[in-house]
Amino acid sequence: MTLPDYEAIDIGHELPALTLPAITRQALAIYCGASGDHNPIHVDIDYAQAAGLDDVIAHGMLIMAYVGRVLTNWVPQSAIRDFNTRFLAMTDVGDQITACGRVVEKFNQATARCVRVEIEAVDQNGIVKASGTALVELG
């Protein structure tokens, strides 16, 4: 994968968005095992209800991983300098997440040319589940 051309990228440039299949219980079970995050609130409905929730909720880090795929689909992973998200709403079973990113800033940092990307994960109703930024070095 080659780096996008810094000069050709304008503020407002949108990274190709990613729309995921609706979250299923099976997807949460697989993520539970794959991630090593065995917090039962994500897979055990009895536990989730005892904790005051209606149902299990998705791992925030699964949502962040979806956003990470938007970044690594756009640039080689080694170009990502930082990546942060705030988790703003719980993601329920059945939610369909779209992850997207948009260039909001271009600047030279030391010898590197960088772009700041705003990232977001929203559900089928437009509710923002996670938002944040990533700093990407474009050579």
Partner 1 sequence: MPPFSVEVEKGRLRLFAKAIGELDPIYSDETAALAAGFRSLPVPPTFLFCLEMERPDAYDWCEELNVPLARVLHGEQAFTYYGVAYAGDLLTFSSEIVDIYDKKNGTLEFIVRKNTITNQQNEQIAEFDSTLVIRPKSELTTQ
| Site membership for partner 1, residue 59 (CB under 8 A) | yes
Which of 17, 25, 87, 93 lies at the binding interface for partner 1 (CB under 8 A)? 87
Tokens of 87: 């988790």
> Which residue do the tokens 């997807």 mark?
27
The stretch near partner 1 (CB under 8 A) out of 6-14, 38-46, 102-110, 116-124 is 38-46
| Site membership for partner 1, residue 56 (CB under 8 A) | no
Q: CB neighbours of 33 closer than 8 A, spacing ≥ 6? A: none
Which of 86, 110, 125, 126 lies at the binding interface for partner 1 (CB under 8 A)? 86
Taking the C-alpha atoms of residue 97 and residue 85, their distance in angstroms, rounded to an integer, is 15
Helix (H) / strand (E) element for 69: namely helix 60-74
Residue-level length of the chain: 139
Site residues (vs partner 1, CB under 8 A): 1, 20-21, 27, 30-31, 33-39, 41, 47, 49-52, 59-62, 64-66, 68-69, 71-73, 77-78, 80-87, 90, 132
